[in-house]
Each structure stands twice: as C-alpha cells, then as structure tokens.
Amino acid sequence: MSVKILVIPGSLRTGSHNARLAALAVKELTLLDAEVTRISLQDFPLPIYDADTEARAGVPGNAVKLKQMMSVHEGVFIACPEYNASVTPLLKNTIDWVSRVRERGEAPLAVFKNRAFALGGASPNQFGGMRSIMAMRQVLEVGCGALVIPEYIAVPRANEAFDEKDDLADPRAAGALRNMLARLIEMSRLVGMTSNARVMA
C-alpha cells in the first residue's frame, strides 16, 4: 500500500523558490509511488498566535483543518524559506497554532508524534536555507516531539539551481533530494505501522 505524504511549501510568494522545491518533491515522491498531497498555506490563513485570541475564540478552524490534513498522511515534507537566519513567521505561526489543536481524548501534540517529517529549504544565498531548516528541526523535534529524519535538502543560489524542467541542475543535489524522500517514505511507513499497532493494542 502506498504511503501518504503531505507537502507544505513554506512560502506564499509568487515565484517562490521553496514552492518550486516543494513541486519537485511532489514529482519525485510520486515517482517513488507515494500518494502525495500538496497544499498551500494560502488556503489556511491564521491570525498571529495570541493566547488572548485563543482564550476568547478557541483555536481557529483553519488550524484544526490543517491538523486534520496532517493526520491523514503518514509523512510530511516542509520546504522552509529562511528569514534572518531562521524560520519564517508564516511557518512558525502555523506550527504554533497546529500545536494548540487537541481533539477529544487525544494526547498532546499527537499529530506531530505519529508521523515522520523531512525538511528542505531553498534560498538565493550560499546557505540554501540551512539555518531555517535547523530552526524548524528544533521547533518540530524539541518543541513538538516529532520525528524529523536526519536527511535534508538545502538548495543554495536557488535562482540558478533549477533547470528548464524545474529539476535540480546539480546531479548531486538531485540525488540528495531523492535519497531524502526515499527515506521519508521508509520512515513514514514505519511510523504509520507502529502508531496503527498502538491503536489496535
């Protein structure tokens, strides 16, 4: 049975390098026989997290919808743009809200703990979003208890990294992306099997 992977481009910008990386991940995951859903955070607008807003109005419906979208996938790939050497407000705010969703009878942060995550980034500079990827790893692993696979893809000089077919021009980078996604599929399958076993026990 094919593994379900959710792909989240972390940028809403027209012509986003990270949206391009996410689109390439969708193509490669499909070639690896995964069942892929790509979303846009444009469809899940959220206010900046504020505890008073949450106390007054509860968690916004879009955070609940996004959490439910994550719940029906065994793996998640997030393409992380980098702002000021860290994760962008859009991605951090999205994770913060989703971390506040707790449905009836559910353990805290269950949606992060019961699936595998992989991270990538693309940036015009020489670091390729590396610092954003590291910051996001901290948020997901340390903050939310997620399993984030060690493999990642950082695409430096993103304005010239993609060829005319929207593939990565550097064959080593293309290979690293494929390896990372194959590992994501493998780990998603394992995590999915162990969480199903826990539900059945």
Ligand X SMILES: Cc1cc2nc3c(=O)[nH]c(=O)nc-3n(C[C@H](O)[C@H](O)[C@H](O)COP(=O)(O)O)c2cc1C
Nearer residue to ligand X within complex by CB, 15 or 105:
15
Nearer residue to ligand X within complex by CB, 77 or 112:
77
- Residue among 3, 5, 7, 11 that touches ligand X (CB under 6 A): 11
- Within residues 84-113, the interface with ligand X by CB under 6 A covers 84-85
- Within residues 128-147, the interface with ligand X by CB under 6 A covers 129
Nearer residue to ligand X within complex by CB, 42 or 84:
84
Q: Does 125 bind ligand X (CB under 6 A)?
A: yes
Closest alpha carbon to 128 in 164, 176, 166: 176
Closest alpha carbon to 109 in 122, 98, 124: 98
Q: Does 18 bind ligand X (CB under 6 A)?
A: yes
Q: Does 123 bind ligand X (CB under 6 A)?
A: yes
Q: Does 67 bind ligand X (CB under 6 A)?
A: no
- Binding site residues, ligand X, CB under 6 A: 11, 13, 16-18, 81-85, 123-125, 127, 129
